Structure 1
Amino acid sequence: MSDTVNPEAYKPLLHGDEAESCHHEGGERKSHHSDKVKSSLISRLNRIEGQVRGIKGLIERDTYCDDVLNQIASVQSALNGVGKLLLEHHLKSCVVERIQEGDTDVLAELMTTMNKLIK
């Protein structure tokens, strides 16, 4: 197996309007998500925020532990969904872009992030 990365192999991951970009601003990396993706992420996070407030209320009302734990599992699942969506768009934009620029360090960065997401 070769240690070199072929940027051409990643081109099929880019899909017209879905393609987003990453850029550097003042030495800081930033992503630019399409309005559709950003709206979806924010909407999901708003629902999760409401769920977390609901869990707090359950605890304040001394709700049965098993019911609270089920709500916590629901929030964790919803957060995982946000993470998967963001990861997909990160792969299709930032990672592909950096590989195309010859920056293969992004792969080590990605593996570190993946290990944090799946622990």
Structure 2
Amino acid sequence: MTTPDGRSIDRPPYGDFRHSYSKDKAQLRRRLSRMEGQVRGIARMIERDEYCVDILQQTAALRAAVDALSILVLEDHVQGCVRTAAARGEADTYVDEVMDVVRRTLGRPVRGGARTT
């Protein structure tokens, strides 16, 4: 995995972890389908030269939908992968990875170096 500026992000060794979102794939796919519909709707609005504020309202709704999906996947990751890693005494790498993702998601710069304990 790399950051938008091309830096490499080392992933922890996932081993035999099972991604807990796997049981909810149908729900996640439904959410993604709705988001695809929102994107197509926004594209149609732009093609029809609709009012800018109306388009911005729709982009805000799309962003909220993406954020909600991100939270679901993040919760599952913490409850599954990070919890399993913690039980194995391997939590630090996973916590660092989650914090980097949260910072990027929130638009905050990722600080250099690993967390020290």
For normalisation by structure 1, the TM-score amounts to 0.71
Show structure 1 runs of 5+ residues with no match.
Answer: 1-22
Q: 1:32, CA displacement in angstroms?
A: 5.0
Which one of the candidate residues 15, 24, 45 is aligned to 1:24? 15
Q: Which has the higher contact order (CA 8 A, sep 6+)?
A: 1
1:106 lines up with 2:94 in the alignment: yes
Map 1:79-118 to 2 at 5 A: 79-103=66-90, 104-118=92-106
Q: 1:66, CA displacement in angstroms?
A: 0.6
Q: Size of the alignment, in residue pairs?
A: 94
More strand by share: 1
- RMSD between superposed Cα atoms in Å: 2.1
Q: Percent identity?
A: 35
Per-residue CA distance 1:69-111 (angstroms, 9 max, x = gap) = 1000000001111011111111100111111121121111111
Show structure 2 runs of 5+ residues with no match.
Answer: 1-13, 108-117
For normalisation by structure 2, the TM-score amounts to 0.72
Change (3 A) 1:59 1:30: farther
SS of equivalent to 1:95: helix
